[in-house]
């Protein structure tokens, strides 16, 4: 207790609020900052909570929870929707200033911010709002800086309190059980319990305690002050006191006295510091005292705002607090947050229209887990794709780890791990939230005939690949040989999937997107896609403008794919390329895929070429959407090209329709007899006619 003054009282000293911020608050603030606010540092309305002290040795904290902030879906300026009538959560309005930089945080004018909030309290007192909604007397201020890279948060609370000059004094502060008679104490306890148990009043922190001459007590709202006068009633001004100290009332009393002094011009005030034990009124812990107030000059003037104090001390010093959540967070959740950080920051300034949810929910099938497959998987992971299936039948060889980024020496030992399974394990080690799956399977290929004993196994592989293509939204064809790309190209055309092919030469590469399914192929209800993204693709087909369809990887060929590995030397059998080629082609393949997802027409989008008059680069957030990208490291050049669909052996309506009609028989014939595809599509006749024309031309060679 402070030094006694001349009147026999002591200067009234108040126990400050003790703040506590739940981790959920910081998680919600981080989400709000990344997903909605961006660089907007406008003030944010927040809601704090406190309750009466419920333990003789521990004060209740002033708490912020995740629901203290607006949700991501709500408007930034809206007050958080907090359900009322919770006896353990008296809601208090506040304001949050969250800065974009640490420098801006330190540069905040704390004196002005505190004065501005004190002015709001002063206005609420003079307008009567504080009588109708007494929670505004405890309004608060929070400043913060969130370092979302390190998950570190600096913050500082202020609980503005209007300053009496001269200060108020207190006379006879004692436990309430000693101030009331036994009859009064019993009645006051019962009335307080009823007030606290009512859904209408449980979280109203300021009230009147009226005790009649017959010792009967009632709890009334502040607005009933005039009604309580007369009839010999004793009136105490009660408030929920979060403090447990036996000689000091809690912080909420400061502005409560300012309201009483200004509103009703009282110079002596009996107050009740209401405290509880196990949810019931505890008059032994609660305090009653008489405050003596000298009304400061000018307190009747709304325009003369008193001085204010209220910045919370940190271990007795005027410094902010720091909390680091990185160590307490689940490593997987921390990895997810860190991985998504760069992508979400893109939406702040560079790319507000970035559709991260659409990217992350897209299921990608990677055919081939070699040099291209490893790089594409990592690029997809960097873009936020979380569902990847890798298909490959090979094992990790000693020569692989230096070029294929998902493998290490351990994967090469004991005959080598299957690439598909080793790649999945590596992806999950890099990012535990990946939903990756490996499939060990060879892709049936034209020109690689199978015996009658192997037919069932081969057809089972075809069926399995068909199901994989159908169950994914996008397919990356990343295999080593041309013939291994034929069946995937056909199945993707049949299912109308986003399809990206990447192919490497020694110092050149091709990256291309396949055109959509031919519109006049036989309709088969069984082949309809079940996932939402593919359904969107099909709905676009109905609105197709009729522009010339873009081709697939095989549309420029005039022969069917055949065995390209027979009678080849070692350097011809292996994918011998310049080491820098695969990362370049893989990155372009993934960027092309993301561009397709963001284009309003998806796979039905026309080809856009750089510098062309209809490039559309000014309209699409990610720029142009080309059909083919061909590059050369020899010349350090890159060109965008377009190739339209032809009567090719993989994607034309004739082949797709034949596959749908004949199924297994068609596949057996195509794989065992590649010339069948040439006959089916008319390429045989075309080649014959071309040869015949050339023979005719020879008759007219000038000597």
Dist CA 673 CA 670 (whole Å): 5
Contact 473, 534 (CB under 8 A): yes
| In contact, 698 and 672? CB cutoff 8 Å | no
Question: How large is the angle between the packed helices 653-662 and 664-672, nearest 10 degrees?
Answer: 120
d(CA 346, CA 354) in angstroms, rounded, equals: 8
Separation of alpha carbons 207 and 188, rounded Å: 13
CB contact at 8 A, 156 and 162: no
Using CA atoms, how far apart are residues 205 and 196, in angstroms rounded to an integer? 10
Cα separation of 505 and 581, whole Å? 9
The single residue of 77, 412, 462, 574 carrying the catalytic annotation is: 574
470 by DSSP, 3-state: which? helix
Residues 6+ positions from 563 with CB-CB distance below 8 Å: 445, 447, 448, 483
CB atoms within 10 A of CB 104: 14
- Residue of 488, 487, 482, 517 whose CA lies nearest to 500: 488
**Distances from the Cα of 437 to the Cαs of 389, 408, 449, in angstroms?**
5, 19, 29
| Chain centre distance of CA 553 | 37
Q: How many CB atoms lie within 10 A of CB 174?
A: 12
DSSP per-residue codes, 609-669 = -TT-TT--TTTSTT----SEEEEETTTTEEEEE--B--S-TTTSHHHHHHHHHHTHHHHHH
228 assigned to active site:
no
How far is it between the farthest Cα atoms of the chain? 137
Q: Which active-site residues does the annotation give? A: 574
């Amino acid at each position: 207790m402070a030094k006694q003054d001349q009147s026999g009282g002591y200067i009234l000293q108040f126990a400050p609020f003790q703040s506590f911020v739940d981790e959920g608050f910081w998680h919600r603030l981080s989400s709000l900052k990344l997903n909605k606010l961006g660089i907007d540092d406008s003030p944010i309305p927040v809601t704090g909570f406190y309750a009466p002290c419920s333990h003789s040795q521990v004060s209740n904290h002033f708490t912020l929870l995740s629901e203290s902030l607006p949700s991501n879906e709500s408007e930034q300026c809206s007050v958080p929707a907090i359900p009322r009538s919770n006896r353990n959560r008296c809601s208090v309005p506040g304001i949050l200033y969250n800065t974009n930089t640490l420098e801006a945080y330190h540069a905040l004018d704390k004196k002005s911010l505190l004065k501005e909030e004190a002015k709001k309290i002063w206005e609420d007192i003079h307008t009567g709002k504080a009588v109708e909604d007494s929670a505004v007397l405890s309004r608060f201020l929070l400043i913060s800086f969130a370092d979302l890279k390190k998950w570190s948060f600096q913050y500082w609370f202020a609980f503005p309190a209007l300053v009496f000059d001269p200060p108020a004094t207190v006379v006879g502060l004692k436990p309430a059980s000693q101030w009331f008679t036994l009859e009064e104490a019993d009645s006051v306890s019962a009335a307080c319990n009823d007030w606290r148990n009512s859904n209408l009043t449980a979280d109203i922190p300021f009230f009147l305690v009226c005790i009649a001459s017959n010792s009967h007590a009632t709890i009334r709202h502040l607005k009933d002050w005039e009604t309580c006068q007369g009839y010999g009633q004793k009136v105490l001004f009660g408030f929920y006191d979060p403090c447990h100290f036996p000689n000091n009332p809690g912080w909420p009393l400061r502005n409560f006295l300012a309201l009483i002094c200004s509103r009703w011009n009282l110079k002596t005030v009996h107050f009740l510091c209401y405290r509880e034990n196990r949810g019931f009124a505890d008059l032994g812990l609660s305090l009653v005292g008489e405050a003596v107030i000298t009304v400061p000059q000018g307190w009747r003037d709304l325009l003369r705002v008193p001085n204010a104090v209220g910045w919370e001390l940190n271990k007795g010093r005027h410094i902010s607090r720091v909390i680091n959540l990185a160590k307490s967070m689940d490593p997987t959740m921390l990895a997810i947050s860190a991985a998504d950080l760069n992508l979400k920051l893109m939406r702040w300034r560079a790319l507000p229209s970035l559709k991260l949810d659409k990217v992350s929910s897209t299921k990608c099938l990677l055919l081939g887990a070699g040099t291209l497959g490893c790089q594409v998987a990592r690029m997809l992971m960097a873009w936020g794709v979380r569902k990847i299936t890798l298909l490959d039948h090979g094992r990790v060889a000693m020569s692989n780890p230096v070029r294929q980024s998902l493998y290490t020496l351990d994967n090469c030992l004991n005959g080598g791990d299957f690439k598909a399974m080793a790649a999945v394990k590596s992806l999950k080690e890099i990012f535990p939230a990946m939903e990756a799956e490996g499939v060990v399977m060879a892709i049936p290929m034209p020109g690689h005939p199978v015996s009658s004993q192997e037919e069932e196994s081969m057809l089972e592989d075809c069926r399995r690949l068909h199901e994989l293509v159908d169950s994914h939204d996008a397919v990356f064809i990343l295999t080593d040989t041309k013939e291994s790309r034929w069946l995937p190209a056909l199945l993707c055309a049949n299912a109308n999937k986003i399809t990206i092919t990447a192919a490497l030469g020694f110092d050149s590469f091709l990256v291309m997107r396949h055109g959509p399914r031919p519109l006049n192929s036989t309709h088969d209800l069984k082949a309809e896609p079940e996932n939402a993204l593919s359904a969107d693709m099909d709905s676009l087909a109905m609105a197709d403008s009729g522009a010339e369809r873009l081709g697939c990887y095989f549309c420029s060929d005039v022969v069917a794919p055949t065995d390209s590995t027979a009678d080849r030397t070692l350097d011809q059998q292996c994918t011998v390329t310049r080491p820098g080629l695969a990362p370049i082609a893989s990155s372009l393949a993934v960027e092309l895929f993301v561009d397709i997802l963001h284009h309003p027409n998806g796979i039905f989008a026309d080809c856009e070429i750089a510098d062309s008059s209809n490039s559309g680069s000014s309209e699409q957030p990610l720029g142009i959407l080309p059909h083919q990208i061909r590059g050369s490291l020899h010349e350090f050049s890159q060109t965008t090209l377009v190739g339209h669909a032809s009567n090719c052996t993989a994607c034309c309506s004739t082949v797709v329709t034949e596959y749908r009609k004949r199924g297994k028989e068609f596949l057996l014939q195509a794989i065992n007899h590649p010339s069948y595809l040439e006959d089916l599509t008319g390429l045989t006749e075309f080649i014959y006619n071309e040869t015949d024309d050339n023979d005719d031309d020879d008759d007219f060679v000038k000597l």
